[in-house]
């Protein structure tokens, strides 16, 4: 029986592309000739979708993935346009897709901003990974669909839900310590407000940690949108107010790009006049002017750990939750002392 990797090999497309085409994901923008080639190849190779095969029920034994291709769902709270604006979640999603391909797992992506939960219910998946920011209500709803559930980059106190997260609390604490070692005590924070699909404001660990460890006044903390435009606007207003701190911890590289643009336009020297440190270590961060000092969040390992965790849970039918925190690494470049 043909598998997704067989169709991918025959067409020259990735397994992720083949999977989304065969699952009729029309939010996935590919040329019609690509879609047609995949469908024709699948028919020629007698590919049968997982949902049409006989389903193996859990009986307590370990599931062998070489005897039946597993099907994993990826619930995604961000839109394709969000991915373009900030590649953070795209890099995690890509790592999940890579790990599924290596393990011969069929990955099905569900963009929850435009789909309802019944699409996931009808997909007959063996396990579910949720990537993004979710409220307690949304987390519970997804868990009810499939208890082989892993939450990525979003915490929960639920005793039976696995969590894979970056240790942002420790990373923020170490950033503050690094700046203070450089005799910088005047530190500000620039962040962005994130919300869940149902409109709940998500608690930013970076912001919360900063306010606990830094005696900051009202002119030290700024929250806007998770965009470069927002960073540019915030930093421009700081410059005009003449209340600039000696350093700013910025929540994402994307926001920091806007901050650097504003500082450069106003002739403010970085890092001589102000140091900028950020999070994510996006691919463009080393090419900014000056190159951006940033925390590498190991997004690749986030994705790998999420896939490994859900597969282990499927195989062993584990009930007790795991909380996995991925360490970070500070990449010192020219934007900070």
Element (H, E) at 128: strand 127-131
Residues 188 and 233 grouped into a single domain: yes
In a domain, 334, yes or no: no
**In terms of domains, do 62 and 77 share one?**
yes
Q: Show the tokens assigned to 259.
A: 């901050």
Does residue 63 fall inside a structural domain?
yes
* 333 belongs to a structural domain: no
Q: Show the domain range for 287.
A: 168-296
Residues 195 and 244 reside in one and the same domain:
yes
Residue 335 lies in a domain: no
Same domain, 267 and 306: no
Residue 77 domain-assigned (yes or no): yes
Is the same domain home to 63 and 94? yes
pLDDT digits (tens, 9 = 90+) for 266-293: 999 999 999 999 999 998 899 999 999 9
Are 166 and 326 in contact by the 8 Å Cβ rule? The answer is yes
Domain count, the chain: 2
Residue 84, in any domain of the structure = yes
137 shares a domain with 111? yes
User: CA–CA distance from 242 to each of 102, 219, 224 (Å)?
Assistant: 54, 10, 19
pLDDT tens for each residue of 202-234: 889 999 999 999 988 888 999 999 999 999 999
| Residue 272 shares a structural domain with residue 129 | no
List, in order, residues 6 or more apart from 317 with CB less than 8 Å away.
58, 60
Task: Give the mean pLDDT of 98-104.
Answer: 89
Q: Sign of the CA dihedral 123, 79, 132, 15? A: positive
Assess if residue 336 is contained within a domain.
no
Task: Indicate which CATH number applies to the domain containing 145.
Answer: 3.40.50.2300
pLDDT of residue 52: 44
- Same domain for 242 and 146: no
Do 82 and 174 have their domain in common?
no
Per-residue pLDDT of 146-201, as tens digits, reads 999 999 999 998 999 999 999 999 999 999 999 999 999 999 999 999 888 888 89
What are the contacts of 24-31 at 24+ separation with CB within 8 A?
Answer: 25/109, 27/80, 27/111, 27/114, 29/80
For residues 76 and 208, membership in a common domain is answered with no
CA end-to-end distance (rounded Å), the chain: 59
Model confidence, pTM = 0.77
- Examine the domain organization and report whether 178 and 133 are in the same domain: no
Q: Are 107 and 231 in a shared domain?
A: no
Residue 117: count of CB within 10 angstroms of its CB: 15
Reduced to 3 states (helix: H, G, I; strand: E, B; else coil), residue 188 is: strand
Distance CA 247, CA 250 (A): 10
């Amino acid at each position: 029986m043909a598998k997704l990797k067989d169709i991918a090999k025959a067409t020259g497309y990735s397994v992720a592309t083949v999977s989304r085409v065969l699952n009729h994901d029309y939010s996935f923008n590919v040329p019609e000739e690509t879609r047609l080639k995949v469908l024709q190849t699948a028919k020629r190779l007698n590919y049968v979708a997982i949902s049409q095969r006989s389903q193996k029920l859990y009986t307590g034994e370990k599931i062998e993935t070489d005897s039946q291709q597993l099907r994993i769902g990826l619930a995604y709270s961000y839109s394709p346009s969000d991915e373009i604006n900030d590649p953070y979640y795209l890099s995690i999603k890509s790592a999940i897709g890579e790990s599924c391909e290596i393990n011969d797992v069929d990955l099905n992506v569900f963009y929850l901003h435009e789909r309802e939960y019944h699409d996931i219910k009808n997909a007959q998946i063996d396990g579910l990974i949720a990537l993004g920011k979710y409220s307690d209500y949304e987390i519970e709803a997804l868990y009810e669909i499939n208890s082989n559930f892993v939450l990525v980059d979003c915490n929960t106190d639920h005793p039976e839900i696995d969590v894979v997260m970056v240790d942002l609390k420790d990373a923020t604490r170490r950033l503050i310590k690094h700046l203070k070692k450089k005799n910088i005590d005047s530190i500000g924070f620039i962040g962005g407000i994130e919300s869940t699909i149902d409109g709940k404001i998500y608690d930013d660990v970076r912001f919360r940690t900063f306010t606990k460890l830094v005696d900051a006044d009202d002119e030290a903390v700024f929250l806007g949108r998770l965009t470069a435009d927002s960073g540019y606007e915030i930093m421009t207003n700081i410059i005009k107010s003449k209340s600039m701190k000696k350093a700013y911890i910025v929540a994402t590289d994307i926001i920091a790009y806007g901050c650097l643009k504003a500082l450069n336009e106003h002739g403010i020297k970085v890092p001589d006049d102000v140091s900028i440190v950020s999070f994510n270590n996006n691919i463009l961060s080393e090419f900014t002017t000056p190159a951006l000092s940033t925390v590498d969040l190991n997004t690749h390992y986030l994705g790998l750990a999420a896939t490994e965790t859900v597969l282990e849970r499927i195989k062993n039918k584990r009930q007790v939750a795991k909380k996995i925190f991925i360490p970070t690494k500070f990449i010192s470049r020219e934007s900070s002392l």
